[in-house]
Structure 1
Amino acid sequence: NSFCTLLARRMRRLIAGVGSASLVGVGAFAWSRYGHTSGIDAAAARDGDAFGLHDFDYDVVVVGGGSGGLAAAKRAASHGARVALCDFVNPTKHGTTWGIGGTCVNVGCIPKKLMHTSALIGEAVNHDAAEFGHSAKSGKSLISQVDWNTLQQNVENYIRSICFGYVTDLRSKEVKYFNAFARFVEPHVIECTNKKGETKTLSARRFILAPGGRPAAMNIPGAEYVIDSDDLFRLKKDPKKTLVVGGGYIALECAGFLHGIGRNATVIMRSIPLRGMDRDMADRVAGYMRRQGIDLHENTLPREIAKLGDGRLSVTFENTKTHEARTEVFDTVLMAVGRNAQVAGMDLDKAGVALHGGKIEVDRFNRTTAPHIYALGDAIAGGVELTPYAIKAGNALADRLYREGCELSNTDGVPTTVFTPLEYSFVGLNEEQAQAEHGADLEVYHQQLQPLEWTVPHRPNDACYMKMLVHKTTDRVLGFHVLAPNAGEITQGVAVALKAGATKSHFDETVGIHPTVAETMTQLKITKSSGQDPSAGGGC
């Protein structure tokens, strides 16, 4: 746009006429456009003058090789910056570690979705196949049995190929990769320590911090015997009967796929499932999991874990409302009670970087309290802990710093999916938020539905559900929620529509694709305020 063009011209005149000592970066001028004073930006320039522009080892060092860090490093290098990237995985207490790529690729989104897929395949074979005419060949069983070692190893092999690709890609883009832990020794200098204990110092004009997060722990007797999600996806022994502690999406997703591959899974949680998400939808997610045979216990905490002689774990847990306690034996206990920013040991205070609630404090330009240091991803306070969002933030930050970019990260309208046995996906406001913000101006359109492919095997006709939150006066769609197979594939398109300002009339005027679950969004007629039954009939 015209602003970006003007920005680029100003930068070229600055470089040509004033000299490198005053160069702060395109981002400094972009900040002043949004009301920031130039004093902080000038301070950033003076801070770098202690070295002089060409005395740094690198223009920018990225700390963290997850999705956001990789995106920022590669984009900055594509703009001509001299870039280094430091990434190091501290092993879990059980020694679990992995390569470059961060949580999503190694112990998060990718292995989770693949194991979720294994569960769905097993469910189709065991419950649907016979109704669709499939029969076992002579001497063979149609019943699916999942071998954990085969599943885990095949998933890990695929992940290793992705990690290898990352290292190759960094090399091709001339980003120097250090498999080492970085800590600040001065505002512009870090010390990198590799797994052999060897150290190396690097200086840079700027730093981008993207260290990510790791699972939180609970301090209870016997906690040394539990694993977390980092361990689960690299677990070499069959988890068998598993107790999952936690009520967030990670806990429910893990319990869901473990149950789906034939392992007994029990979930205990401090409060309620999916706290903070749409309450109506969260209850539906939990209800479907219970119908499948997964035990979910709310308001329940583990009190003590003891290891038995045969290696199994005896767990005592208590209902915090009734104070009723019980003890049960499990093969595995998985702790999924939240995540913490991975900033321990980085000595951020030596660089002037402040924390807020244990996470890195940033402004809306991803700038920390040290004007030459930026941060993004799961480790920043108030951020969105989603891979695609981190990638966008990394690319946008590099563009602002090393090109004429002026795009800012926007947390509005970010879609997401919870990969529970029946997937829950949404974009925009949840019903509680919409009610609080718009009150009587809120209308909720909703409908229960049954996917066509669920009819023949006689799956439930009341489990899947879709709702749309609409502003009565403007007809603007405020939020969209769906509980159904492949829910994320449905919501991604809706997210684009909402970003473009879609109204309920736009959906009503759109011709649906038949027969699909997605076409329901073009047929939503029943409102909650009407009190009518949202159950959907079958047929065309």
Structure 2
Amino acid sequence: MPTFDFDLFVIGGGSGGVRAARMAAQRGARVALAECAELGGTCVNVGCIPKKLYSYAASYADAFTESEGYGWQFDSPPRFDWNVLKANRAKEIRRLNGIYRSLLEGAGVTLIQGWAQLADAHTVQVGDRRCTARHLLIATGGMPFVPEVAGREHVVVSDAMFDLDPFPKRLLVVGGGYIACELASIFNGLGAKVTQLQRTAHLLNGFDEDVRQFLAKEMGRVGIDIRFNCEIDMITRLDSGLCALLSRGQRVESDAILYATGRVPNTQGLGLEAAGVELDERGGVVVDKHYRSSVPSIYAVGDVSTRQQLTPVALAEAMAVVDALFGAGPRTLDYEFTPTAVFTHPNIGTCGFTEAEARAKFGKLDIFSSEFKALRHTLSGSGERTFMKLIVERKTDRVVGLHMVGPEAGEIVQGFAVAMRAGATKQVFDRTIGIHPTVAEEFVTMREPMPG
């Protein structure tokens, strides 16, 4: 039997990589982790965490205005300080970086700073250091993708949005996915004039059609200028900022242009091809149901592979790998009822199938939906509305899709996701007592399916 320096070598210190390294070490494995940047990966440093913090910041603008309907008065208008938000966010991220380091060191993981490359199926080179391991785990995540467009050197990607200097009074967002919609909502809430371009006729590809249409209406209601079936032909710099020439011949001037046109697996420069690891057409690592690549000693989890690009999914996949290598044995994950949220204003929460997907898979359905003004806004003066939808397989009465657009949608849908995972039927929903008065109770009080 060959002798290795480590039992597991993890490349990438994001959510999946840190979880795998820490849990494997706690089970007695000799583990090393290589990371060339700050620990925590995209989620902690330039993704989920700062995005949610900025979303909270943006929500205060509406709260200040809405509070007047409840009797609050201000001697002068509230003033937003972009630099204070950036500084406080950076402080919190540094704290989280430190927590990740402490967790790894406390578990006995060897941390190696630098860019790691595979030399072969069991060997990793990090700078001048060469290490061998019985198993290798690729957890390097994804990176923003910017298509070829004249003037692309003038644009920014989502990673840079949290430290823009100065704050963009005019922001042009290109893309219609969740990152584009979230950042459009956030910067609109913080006071920027936001224009959003989407090359197709809808936002949020892959989401339920009613959800997509409702969100677009709500985003437009608060002042975001969404233009569908529209692309940029060229970007130039002017004395007054940036100018985007659109495919329709229109011009849009802005202080910053964000391209949020998708993410691609971060596999370039890792030596995967040299080690014989098969990649798909997007550059992602092809893995089997146990996250093993085409090379038996090399595994991959999270955004770098070929499944759902969500932090909790990466964590679950990491644990599946650790269980297979250092635990009770192989197990598989079921991705069918993975809940997710989009932190637009208002939020989206969703679990299960869209209506189109459910019709294709199950056939006959019963659809329940409701649109209403929440109690909070009866005095706030806000025009914000909430949308909820249940999709029920008629044959079994099982709830196979649950969708919401409204305040705290992610918090609400998380609880219902447990019920859906357990196989809850519409009858179970109907027999559940609601908490009154709440928005969430609407999910257990919708009684009449939509006609047809």
CA distance in 2, matches of 1:281, 1:144: 33
Residues 468-522 of structure 1 deviation map (CA, whole Å, 9 limit, x = unaligned):
1001121111110011100011100110001111000101001000110110111
Aligned residue in 1 for 2:54: 115
Q: Does 1:526 align with 2:448?
A: yes
CA distance in 2, matches of 1:449, 1:376: 41
Aligned residue in 1 for 2:236: 306
Once the two structures are overlaid, the 10-residue window that deviates more, 502-511 or 176-185, is 176-185
Q: Which amino acid in the other structure matches residue 421 of structure 1?
A: H
CA distance in 2, matches of 1:215, 1:145: 32
Which of 369, 376, 385 is equivalent to 2:301?
376
Unaligned runs of 5+ in 2: none
Which of 262, 267, 286 is equivalent to 2:216?
286
Which of 115, 120, 129 is equivalent to 1:186?
120
Aligned-pair distance for 1:405?
4.1
Aligned residue in 2 for 1:354: 278
Aligned residue in 2 for 1:81: 29
Q: Secondary structure at the match of 1:502?
A: coil
Q: Does 1:128 align with 2:66?
A: yes
What are the equivalent positions in structure 2 for 1:25-424 lying under 5 Å apart?
52=2, 55-89=3-37, 99-125=38-64, 127-136=65-74, 140-141=75-76, 143-193=77-127, 199-271=128-200, 272-310=202-240, 312-318=241-247, 324-357=248-281, 358-381=283-306, 383-424=307-348
CA distance in 2, matches of 1:453, 1:148: 28
Q: Which amino acid in the other structure matches residue 349 of structure 1?
A: E
Cα 1:236–1:173, aligned 2, differ >3 Å: closer, same or farther? farther
Aligned residue in 2 for 1:481: 403
Q: Does 1:516 align with 2:438?
A: yes
CA distance in 1, matches of 2:302, 2:55: 25
Q: Secondary structure at the match of 1:158?
A: helix
CA distance in 1, matches of 2:25, 2:60: 42
- Is the CA contact 2:6–2:32 (under 8 Å) kept in the aligned structure 1? yes
- Is the CA contact 2:290–2:330 (under 8 Å) kept in the aligned structure 1? no
Residues 259-297 of structure 1 deviation map (CA, whole Å, 9 limit, x = unaligned):
001111110011121012111111111110001110001
- Is the CA contact 1:145–1:262 (under 8 Å) kept in the aligned structure 2? no
Q: Secondary structure at the match of 1:394?
A: helix
Aligned residue in 2 for 1:31: none
Aligned-pair distance for 1:105?
0.7
Aligned-pair distance for 1:309?
2.9
Which of 353, 363, 385 is equivalent to 1:429?
353
CA distance in 1, matches of 2:427, 2:21: 43
Unaligned runs of 5+ in 1: 1-20, 22-51, 90-98, 194-198, 319-323, 531-540
CA distance in 2, matches of 1:177, 1:460: 51
CA distance in 1, matches of 2:329, 2:388: 38
- Is the CA contact 1:253–1:419 (under 8 Å) kept in the aligned structure 2? yes
CA distance in 2, matches of 1:145, 1:315: 30
Q: Which amino acid in the other structure matches residue 183 of structure 1?
A: Q
CA distance in 2, matches of 1:378, 1:209: 10
Q: Which amino acid in the other structure matches residue 152 of structure 2?
A: A
- Is the CA contact 1:187–1:350 (under 8 Å) kept in the aligned structure 2? no
Aligned-pair distance for 1:431?
0.7
CA distance in 1, matches of 2:450, 2:335: 28
Residues 113-169 of structure 1 deviation map (CA, whole Å, 9 limit, x = unaligned):
1111111111110x2111110012xxx31x333211111121111011100111121
- Is the CA contact 2:429–2:443 (under 8 Å) kept in the aligned structure 1? yes
Q: Secondary structure at the match of 1:121?
A: helix
Aligned-pair distance for 1:418?
0.6
Cα 1:102–1:225, aligned 2, differ >3 Å: closer, same or farther? same
Q: Which amino acid in the other structure matches residue 106 of structure 1?
A: N
CA distance in 1, matches of 2:86, 2:309: 25
Percent same amino acid among aligned pairs?
38
Q: Which amino acid in the other structure matches residue 231 of structure 2?
A: L
Aligned-pair distance for 1:459?
2.5
**Number of positions where the alignment pairs a residue of Structure 1 with one of Structure 2:** 450
CA distance in 1, matches of 2:338, 2:211: 17
CA distance in 1, matches of 2:332, 2:29: 20
CA distance in 2, matches of 1:468, 1:452: 21
- Is the CA contact 1:307–1:314 (under 8 Å) kept in the aligned structure 2? yes
Aligned residue in 2 for 1:450: 373
